[in-house]
């Protein structure tokens, strides 16, 4: 299997940040989007960004294909459609507000999933927005969303997702910046 495509999930509303797009938040002189792009780029064949607003990036920005801001799974479906149109077999998803994710995320997901759905996990649980997603999941994911499903873990469990275990680190690899306090904490770790 060739390297998967990468999809940065940046379509959130940023409500706990006062409605500001988290992709543009600055951390150590760079935007979160720039940090995540730099960390993901060496691990994948190409990158797209799933966002429902304009962003400055050298990568394609793809909007949710389903209306109504249906959460991260809608972004995953959009990414799967994008990858399928370009002949890719898999995508790896990462969240734009998680700047410390592992530099070996993709190889570990590939190893755990053996070409099937795989999700990152640490001692504090699963991190469903960090996963290896086969393009073959497009139809089941579309059906799940059309039936009102929104929970990532419910969908990934139903699909028998493998779990790729990551060690606990400082800063936490999957630390999620949701609030101004989280942003300040991330800056302290830099």
9 is in an annotated binding site: yes
168 is in an annotated binding site: no
E strands of the chain, at which residues? 5-9, 26-27, 30-31, 47-50, 61-62, 90-95, 118-122, 125-134, 162-165
Domain 5-189 in this protein, CATH class = alpha beta
22 is in an annotated binding site: yes
What is the mean predicted confidence (pLDDT) over 64-89? 90
DSSP, collapsed to helix, strand or coil, labels residue 128 as strand
Order the strands of the 90-95 sheet from edge to edge: 61-62, 47-50, 5-9, 90-95, 125-134, 118-122, 162-165
50 is in an annotated binding site: yes
How many CB atoms within 10 Å of residue 64? 20
Going by C-alpha positions, the residue among 130, 47, 134, 119 that lies closest to residue 95 is: 130
Confidence of residue 17 (pLDDT cuts 50, 70, 90): low
| Residue 113 tokens, joined | 């999933």
Going by C-alpha positions, the residue among 143, 138, 137 that lies closest to residue 118 is: 137
| Residue 123 tokens, joined | 């001692």
pLDDT in tens, 165-178: 999 999 999 999 99
52 is in an annotated binding site: no
11 is in an annotated binding site: yes
97 is in an annotated binding site: yes
Q: Where are the domains of the chain?
A: 5-189
pLDDT in tens, 25-51: 999 999 999 999 999 999 999 999 999
> Are residues 57 and 49 in contact, defined by beta-carbon separation less than 8 angstroms?
yes
Q: Which residue has the higher pLDDT, 18 or 186?
A: 186
| Residue 122 tokens, joined | 């640490």
How many CB atoms within 10 Å of residue 157? 13
**What pLDDT is recorded for position 137?**
98
For 48, 54, 55, 157, 179, the CA distances from 60, given in Å and listed in that order, are: 5, 11, 10, 30, 27
What is the mean predicted confidence (pLDDT) over 103-126? 96
| Residue 65 tokens, joined | 């294909």
DSSP, collapsed to helix, strand or coil, labels residue 27 as strand
pTM metric for this prediction = 0.94
């Amino acid at each position: 299997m060739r390297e998967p495509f990468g999809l940065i999930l940046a379509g959130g509303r940023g409500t706990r940040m006062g409605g500001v797009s988290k992709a543009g938040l600055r951390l150590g002189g760079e935007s979160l989007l720039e940090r995540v792009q730099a960390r993901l780029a060496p691990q994948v064949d190409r990158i797209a960004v799933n966002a429902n607003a304009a962003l400055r990036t050298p990568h394609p920005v793809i909007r949710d294909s389903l209306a109504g801001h249906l959460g991260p799974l809608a972004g995953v479906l959009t990414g799967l459609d994008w990858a399928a149109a370009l002949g890719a077999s898999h995508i790896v998803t990462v969240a734009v507000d998680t700047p410390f994710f592992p530099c070996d995320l993709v190889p570990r997901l590939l190893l755990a999933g053996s070409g099937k759905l795989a999700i990152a996990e640490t001692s504090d649980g699963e991190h469903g927005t960090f996963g290896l997603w086969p393009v073959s999941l497009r139809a089941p994911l579309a059906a799940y969303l059309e039936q009102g499903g929104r929970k990532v873990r419910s969908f990934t469990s139903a699909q028998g997702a493998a779990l790729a275990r990551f060690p606990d680190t400082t800063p936490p690899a999957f630390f999620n910046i949701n609030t101004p306090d989280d942003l300040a904490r991330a800056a302290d770790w830099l």
